[in-house]
Amino acid sequence: MNPILPLVAAELDVPVDARVSAMAAAVAALYPKAARAVLFYGSCLRESALEGLMLDFYLVVSSYRDAYGKSWLAPANRLIPPNVFPFVHEGLSAKYAVLSEADFARECSPRAGSVSVYARFAQPARLVWQADADAKRSAVEAVAEAAPTLLGLARPCLTDEEASDPLAVWRRAFELTYGAEIRAERASRPGSIVDHDPERYRRFAEALGASEPLGQGEVERRACAKAWRRRQRKGKRTTVLRLAKASFTFAGGVEYLAWKINRHAGTKIELKPWQRRWPLLAAVTLLPRLVKRGAIR
C-alpha cells in the first residue's frame, strides 16, 4: 500500500469553509452526468478571508464526452489538459480545471505529461465534493501518488547530504516544478510553501523514506538535471498552449492573468482596452516583457 495513503486521506477530509463546499457543489452541478469529485487546492486553502480572492478547484469527471457532449471542448480537454473555466457563486470567485478520472490519475503519477498536477497535489488539498464512495476512493488514491512522484523525480538531483534533509528536498522539488511552468510568483515562493507547514512536509517525507541516502554519484545527478531541463522546456511550451486555449474558455482570462501577476510578483500591470478585447494577443505580448522584468519565470 502507498505509505502516505492514510495521511492523504486524512488531509483531504479536513473541513473547509461552508462557502467553499457550496461552491464545489455548484461546480459539480454544472456537469450532472459527469462530475465525480471536486478538489480545493492552492493558496486560498490557507486563507480565512476569501472575499476578493480567486479560489482554485479541480473538477474530476467520468469522461470528456460525458462532460461536454459533442462540443469542441471535449477534444480540447483531451489534447491540452486541463480546460479551465471561471466561476462565481454567492459573491466568491473561482476558477476550476477539468480532468477525467483517468487523466487525473495519470497526471499525479510518474506517467504525467507535465509537472502541473502532481506539483499542486503534492501540496495540501481538500476533497470538498464527491459523487459516491468509489469517486472518493479514486480521488484519494490519485492524490496519494503526487508526493511520491514529485520527490522520486527530484531527489536524484541532490547530493546525499542535501537529500538527508527532508525540507531541503521539498524546497528543491518545488523549485524544479516552478521552473517547468510560466509562473508569476516571486523566486522565494517554492520555499515559502514548505515553510508554511514544515511539519506536514517532514511527516510526508519521512513516511516515504525520502531522507534516506541515495548512494549515487555525479553522473546520476547530471542525468536528473538533464531530465528536468527537458521537463522545463516542455512545461513552458505547454503553459503557453494552455494560456492560448484559456483565451477561448476563460472569459476575463487576461484580467485574471494581470491580477495574479500583480498579486504574486508585486507588479502594477494596467491593461489597455485593446488587451481586454484581444486577450490572446495581450497574453502573447505581455509574456516577453514580464519575463525580462522577472515578474514571471
Domain membership of residue 177 (yes or no) is yes
Both 268 and 212 in a single domain?
A: no
pTM exceeding 0.85: no
Both 287 and 229 in a single domain?
A: no
CA atoms of 34 and 231, how far apart (whole Å) = 31
Which among 238, 262, 277 is the end of a domain?
238
Both 37 and 176 in a single domain?
A: yes
Domain membership of residue 244 (yes or no) is no
Rounded to the nearest 5 degrees, what angle is found at the Cα of 246, between the Cα atoms of 256 and 244?
110
The pLDDT value recorded for residue 30 is: 98
CATH number, domain containing residue 215: 3.30.460.10
Domain membership of residue 247 (yes or no) is no
Domain membership of residue 246 (yes or no) is no
Report the 3 state secondary structure along 158-177: CCHHHHCCHHHHHHHHHHHH
Number of domains in the chain: 2
The answer to whether 163 touches 169, Cβ cutoff 8 Å, is yes
Tell me 81's DSSP state. P
What are the backbone angles phi and psi of residue 100, rounded to the nearest 5°?
A: -70, 160
Both 220 and 177 in a single domain?
A: yes
Domain membership of residue 258 (yes or no) is yes
Domain hosting 274: range is 252-293
CA atoms of 125 and 221, how far apart (whole Å) = 31
Both 86 and 193 in a single domain?
A: yes
Rounded to the nearest 5 degrees, what angle is found at the Cα of 204, between the Cα atoms of 198 and 210?
105
The pLDDT value recorded for residue 2 is: 92
The pLDDT value recorded for residue 260 is: 57
Both 215 and 80 in a single domain?
A: yes
Both 34 and 141 in a single domain?
A: yes
**269 CB-near residues (< 8 Å, 6+ apart):** 258, 261, 262, 286
Both 289 and 215 in a single domain?
A: no
CA atoms of 278 and 297, how far apart (whole Å) = 23
Both 262 and 155 in a single domain?
A: no
CA atoms of 77 and 241, how far apart (whole Å) = 12
Both 161 and 284 in a single domain?
A: no
The pLDDT value recorded for residue 127 is: 98
Give pLDDT < 70 ranges for the chain: 182-191, 213, 215, 240, 243-244, 246-272, 274-297
Both 145 and 268 in a single domain?
A: no
Domain membership of residue 243 (yes or no) is no
The pLDDT value recorded for residue 232 is: 87
The pLDDT value recorded for residue 279 is: 58
The answer to whether 58 touches 33, Cβ cutoff 8 Å, is no
The pLDDT value recorded for residue 278 is: 55
Domain membership of residue 121 (yes or no) is yes
Both 261 and 210 in a single domain?
A: no
Q: pLDDT tens digits for 190-233?
A: 668 999 999 999 999 999 987 776 767 789 889 999 999 999 88
Question: Among positive and negative, which fits the CA dihedral 222, 112, 264, 188?
Answer: negative
Question: Among positive and negative, which fits the CA dihedral 215, 220, 222, 226?
Answer: negative
Domain membership of residue 245 (yes or no) is no
Cell numbers at 126, concatenated: 481538500
